[in-house]
Each structure stands twice: as structure tokens, then as C-alpha cells.
A and B are shown apart, each in its own frame.
Chain A
Amino acid sequence: MSKYNLDYLDELEAEAIYILREVAGQFEKPALLFSGGKDSITLVRLAEKAFRPGKFPFPLVHIDTGHNFAETIKYRDAMIERLGEKLIIGHVQDDIDKGNVVEQTGKNASRNALQTVTLLNTIAKYQFDACIGGARRDEEKARAKERIFSVRDEFGQWDPKRQRPELWSIFNGKIHKGENVRVFPISNWTELDVWNYIRRENIPLPSIYFAHQRDCITRNGQLMAASPFLNMDDQDVVERRNVRFRTVGDMTCTAAVESYAFEIDDIINEISESKISERGARMDDKVSEAAMEDRKKGGYF
């Protein structure tokens, strides 16, 4: 589909809008999973392009670990206010309280893995048949294998050996009751594409993406934001550092990078020259070589 006289950002945009409209046309109860990160923020802009002046044909769904950056939640609430769209929040805390999941212990405890259960429970509760997410194939090698319409069974599992062939720009969204489809409209975007698009479209972002002063500790070679959510002890030395975040996830598993990028142009320069991949700053991917694949098979995004 690249035979058009469009600039590459126009081409990626047109493809993503096309995919969002296919979701609207093919599913009864879709949802857009919103994490507060730049990728899902980009999705929201694309949804505005796809459906305005109409309402979105789906609610936004945020799976809240309770360990989010305060700046992300503030951004989320202001955005919903501006959009006038519906937001559904799935709280990991609720599943902890109900005993559905058990909080990890120890120094590297994180609620990241617990999100999957809350996500699957939220999908079941609202009977979502399609969940749109901002995952990109360039993020990780298991994601590089994933279809744009990725069918999950009633347990939320991804089976890489039983993926549907996906030809031209025809997306088969037919599923049985209980199954759902994860849809990735920006599959073909790279991290840099997302940043260039955000710059072009002048989309506001949560402040943690830009360099700021923050209390941090160094753990496993990574800079982590000091917070009450992090299990700290006497050995952890809190230092004031100039940092920003490349991805936005749970405070316990998203590492900061030392940065003086105060403007979006600085960020784009920084990423263009960086020799570390985006997910290099995610502790959750470092558990094993197949960490992402295993989590996806278990129902994680």
C-alpha cells in the first residue's frame, strides 16, 4: 500500500485512520486502551481524525496500577475533559483487594505484571470485543511478529503459531463470543515516527517526557524515580538528577534517562542519536529473552 504520493507520515497516518475505522465498522463493543504514554496519545489524535465531528465509537480504557506518575493522571483527566469522551478505569488495587492477584514483594516489586489480570477482568466486565492499543512492531522482537488484528482467545492468550494471515489492507475481525481482538493501528510506526508526528501535529504531552529535575535512585544500572511505590532501603542513595522518560508505565518499572531535552526538537535529536532502544529502559523486558513473548501469551498487551 505504499504506492501513493504521500509523505511517509501522511501514509502512516492514513493507514492508522483506516484501521481505526475498520474497528468501528467491524466490532460491536470496541475500546481504546489508554496508558497516558505518547503512543496512546497519538492514537487519540488519530481517533479524532477518524471520527470527528462524530463521537468516538468506543470508550477510552485506562488500566491504572495505582503506581502511575501523577503527571500522567493529570494529563489523562484534562484530555478526557477536552475530548468529551467516556473514560473507564480498571484499578489494579481493586483486584489486589479482592485477592485476585497478590502483590509482589522484595526490592524489585512491581505491579506491572498484575495489570494483565485487571485488563482481562475489565475486558470481561464490559464485554469488549476489540481493544485498540498503541503497540509498535519496532519495540520488541515478539511484537515484530504480531498482526495488526491480533486475535486472543477467551483467556486473553496470543498464540503466535495460529495467527491469521493478514493480506493487503483487509482485516478480518470475525471472532467467537468470549474472544477478543487486540488492534494495533500504529504497528508500522517507529519510535521516531511517533515523535515526528507529535511534533507535526503539535500534540501536548505529559511533562515527564521532557527533561526535569527529579529525585532518583540507581538500581540494576537504571535510574528509577524515587517514590513511595518503590521498595527502598538504606543502600538506596537518592540523588537529584536531570532526567526525562522515554516511555510511560508504572513508576516501579519505568526507568528515566539522563537528559537535557526540554523541547520536542531536543527529544527528536536525542532519540536519533541514541544507541539504546526504547524498551532498553523497561525492567519488565529484561527478565528473560522471551519476557515479552511470555507476557503476551498470558494476555498482556
Chain B
Amino acid sequence: MEILKFITAGSVDDGKSTLIGRLLYDTDAILADQLEALHSSNRKNDDGSIDLAILTDGLKAEREQGITIDVAYKYFQTDKRKFIIADAPGHIQYTRNMVTGASNSDLAIILIDARKGVVEQTVRHSFLVSLLGIPNVVVAVNKMDMLDYAEDTFNSIVNDYRKLAAKVDLKQVTFIPVSALKGDNVVNRSANMQWYTGKSLLEHLETVEITIDNSGSHAYFPVQWVVRPQTDELHDYRGYAGRVLSGSLKVNDHVTVLPSGFTSTVEQIELLDQQYNEASAGKSVTVLLKDDIDISRGDILVSSAFKPQVSQLIEADLCWMDTRPLDISQTYFIQHNSKLTRCKIQEVLYKVDINTLEKEYSEEFKLNDIGRVVVKSAEPLVFDLYQNNKNTGGAIIIDSRTNVTVGALMFRANAD
């Protein structure tokens, strides 16, 4: 069984929490004691029915204000798939939380209030989804019940959104008219919208193809930890522990260690008492090489036929995530998988107004600002471009004074 990870984007008024609540409720993912808590809550809908949105607001402050502050992760499964929902807040002040949730998602549901159509925040959410490279997008046109389930309204929103999708370069978009409150087309097909012949939201989530973006690429294996038992019987054992991030690694493969450039051959791939001939992308294993060479945490093993980008100067999209603005004179840490080194933002190329998508020049990078920069790292990084591989093309920036994660980088070009 596969896992589909998806994010939901939309503001509180669009009924995002209600939609998630409805998905959980109608798939029977809510247990009796949770239901009981739901029924005994003071929060009710206007018609007295239970407020499904309560299910997703996990913090006191969220329940008090009726808004979502931080990403919550929800789990449910059907006979066909397992699902992890990253329930991210939609408000502009929480852009960084949406970026957090989006970084690990295979699919995004963008909610549009049918009464309002495409609005500024739809633009913002769509831009972020495109920036983070989420391959599948579902536009859920919600609150159809409030417009008598009118087909015309739906069609005109679809037309408007297609223009936006072209502008932000989103390719695979599916449109579904829903009412999260009443349950139309969320899990069950709606009897109120006979004109809609497509799948319900859940049916779509169960069947949409999860894009495999690592197939055919070469082996890329960052070393996290060197296993050295140093016991009498395992005196010379040196295992390189890590996770294959793309392609696959096989016994007898010729590998190059980057950035040093030493080469060797894979002798053994193992995990506890299991031996493998091959470890494909995603697998955590321990690798033994034929030659004794100096490899430490942060080094990358790649198949020798593969020439990944290696550079200290990289052009990247930057999303700033801290209340302290970017200080261009400051040295930060950059963390790229298990590699930690120092960096500076050498140059700001432009910033993007995420509501209008206009590019502008400004060196000032504040909380939730997004733009294109050139980052300079103290040591060379071994990477792919983000659009080719998310797992090897993204990095974070850490403020060396506060230790906080202050920026997300998506590598777009080698600037060397």
C-alpha cells in the first residue's frame, strides 16, 4: 500500500478545517471518544450540527481564535491508500508554515470559496505550491451549497484558475466542486451536482498517480554516520550509514566520494542482519566499500558515471522564515541533507510579490519574503537542481546566533 502525503491550502473562511474534518468523518477515521469530545464541545454550526473544524485545531490558542496557527499532521487510510495530511494555515503571516507543510507533499488541495472565486490568497497558495514543486494540484471549489450548486459559477472559477495556473506554471490541475459542510463530493458523490461527472475528492486522492521523480537518476547517498564497532572480531569494520536519496546503489558499483573525488567499489550493502544486492531510493542502509578511504558525515557517495553539480556558488529561490530579517553581511549556516557548513547570501537578484507575482528588486528580506538569491557556501555542496530532485536540491539556512531555521533554499542553477 502506498502513502500519499498532501497539503491543504486555504484560509479559515474557505472551510479548510471543515473539509479535513469531513474527510476524516466520512471515512470513519474518527473514533468514538473523539466523536464524543466533538459532540460535547460548545462550538456548533449555526444549524446546530457538529463543527468538524474542531478536529484539526490542536492548540488552545487555535480553538480560542478559531484559526490554525501551525501545521498539524493527520493520518487516515482507506482500503486503497494511506494518507498523511499536512494541515497548514493559509494566512499570509503563516507562509513559512505552509512552505514547511508543502516541502514534503505529493499533492496540494487549494480551496476556493465559490462565492468569492479566485482571490489574492489563491494566487499566493498556487505560487507556493509551484515554487515547492508539488506535482499534483486539486482545486476544491467549496461552499457550492450556498450557490444552489450552480454549474455556471463552477465553470467560471475553473476558467479563471486555468489562467492563473498557466502564469505560475502548474501543469496537473484537477477541479472538484464540493460542499465540505454538507459533504457533497468530498467522500461521497453529490446528488446535488448531477452535472459534475468527475471523481469525488477522496476517489481522486485514492487513484491519482504518485509521481516517481527519482526513477532513472543516478545513485546519490549522503553519509550520515560512520559505523565503527572497533571490537576484536570487527576490528576493521567501517560501514557508511545513510539513506539513498536518488537512483539505486548496487554491490560492485563504482562509486565516487564527493567532494574529495576518491573512488572505490561497493562491497556490501546491509542493515542489521540483512544483506542486499541493491538499495533503491528511500532506503536507509549501511554501505561497505572495498577500499579504506577517508569518508565522514556530510560526504556524498555517487555512482562514478554520475556528475552531479558541485559548487560553492549557487543560485536559489529563498523563502525567509524568521522575524529577524536577512542580514547580507552576516554569516549563516547552510544545512544540505547531512552537510553543515557556513554560508552568506552573496547577492539578492529579485524578490517576488507573492500576491501579484510581480518581481521587484530589494535587498530587504523579511519574514515570509520570497525571491531569488546567490548563496555562497564555505565548502562545496554536491547537489541537484530542485526541479530535478527535491531531496538533493533543497537546503535550509540557520542563524548562527539564534540557531533558528531562518530560510529555505531551492537550488535553481549552478552560479559558479
List chain A positions with a Cβ less than 8 A from chain B.
1-8, 10-11, 13-15, 17-18, 21-22, 24-25, 48-55, 57, 137-138, 141-145, 160-161, 163-170, 172, 174-176, 187-188, 190, 274-277, 280, 289-290, 293
Contacts and interface: CB of A to CB of B under 8 A. Distances in A.
A1 B104 contact: yes
Which of A3, A7, A164 has the most chain B CB atoms closer than 10 A to its own CB? Answer: A3
A125 B160 CA distance: 62
Nearest to B68: A145
Which 9 pairs show the lowest CB-CB distances between chains A and B?
A4-B282, A141-B58, A17-B284, A280-B33, A174-B403, A21-B224, A275-B32, A167-B103, A14-B284
A293 to B, nearest CB: 6
Interface stretch (B146-154, B197-205, B394-402): B394-402
Nearest to A190: B75
A51 B270 CA distance: 11
Interface string B162-195: 0000000000000000000000000000000000
Chain B interface, >50% SS class: mixed
Given A4-B214, A11-B3, A137-B73, A53 B282 contact: no
A18 B391 contact: no
A289 B33 CA distance: 12
A289 B75 contact: no
B75 to A, nearest CB: 5
Contacts of B57: 141
Contact of A172 (B103, B284, B405): B405
B333 interface: yes
Given A52-B272, A167-B408, A280-B33, 11 more contacts: A14-B283, A51-B225, A141-B57, A141-B58, A144-B73, A161-B61, A161-B69, A163-B70, A168-B391, A188-B75, A277-B34
Given A25-B225, A165-B99, A277-B31, A3 B73 contact: no
Contact of B224 (A13, A25, A53, A290): A25
A172 B2 contact: no
27 contacts: A1-B104, A2-B106, A5-B282, A21-B224, A21-B225, A21-B241, A22-B224, A25-B297, A49-B284, A50-B284, A53-B231, A137-B73, A138-B75, A144-B58, A144-B74, A164-B404, A165-B99, A165-B405, A166-B100, A168-B394, A170-B336, A170-B396, A176-B403, A276-B33, A277-B33, A289-B37, A290-B60
B260 to A, nearest CB: 18
A2 B337 CA distance: 16
A18 B61 CA distance: 33
A166 B241 CA distance: 22
B108 to A, nearest CB: 14
B272 A5 contact: no
Contact of B73 (A22, A187, A276): A187
B227 interface: yes
Contacts of B404: 164
Contact of B394 (A5, A10, A22, A170): A170
A55 B11 CA distance: 49
A165 B34 CA distance: 28
Contacts of A276: 31-33
A52 B227 CA distance: 8
A41 to B, nearest CB: 15
Nearest to A15: B284
Contacts of B82: 8
Contacts of A170: 335-337, 394-396
B138 interface: no
Contacts of A165: 96-97, 99-100, 321, 396, 405, 408
B208 interface: no
Interface string B266-309: 00000110000000111110000000000001000000000000
Contacts of A172: 335, 396, 398, 403, 405
